[in-house]
Amino acid sequence: MKKKLIKINYCILALIILFFQNIKAEDLFDQGKQIFLEEGNCATCHALQDANSYGNIGPNLNEIKPDIMRIISAVTNGTGVMPAYEGQLSIEEIKAVATYVARSTN
């Protein structure tokens, strides 16, 4: 009986952890969208359907469907005509916008 109770408690704890991780993931997605549209100014150059942006200076993100690591690298270091945002955006903000773009395009 005691082992069964412990197993139930672990299941409840696992569900609570999964629930809060999902909330955190949604917060990160929402923060990333805000950065994409506002302080990152990404929507000026990039097309992204979820953001209702139709910029045509940078690549269409819906078409290239970049993965999160490619986005982090491009935002941090810049690429082509895109400037580096390291120093303008924090590491957390770069991770948030990368999460948003990756999840929006895949």
- pTM, two decimals, is 0.77
Structural domain harbouring 48:
2-105
CATH number at residue 56: 1.10.760.10
Q: What's the pLDDT tens digit per position in 85-101?
A: 999 999 999 999 999 99
CA distances to 35, 42, 44, 85, 97 from 39, in Å: 5, 8, 11, 11, 11
Name the β-bridge partners of 86.
89
Note the pLDDT of residue 26: 83
**Strand locations in the chain (E):** 47-48, 53-54
Q: Which residues of the chain have pLDDT under 70?
A: 1-23
Note the pLDDT of residue 5: 44
For the chain, count helices (H), then strands (E).
4, 2
Note the pLDDT of residue 89: 96
Domain count, the chain: 1
Non-local (6+) Cβ contacts of 78 within 8 A are: 84, 85
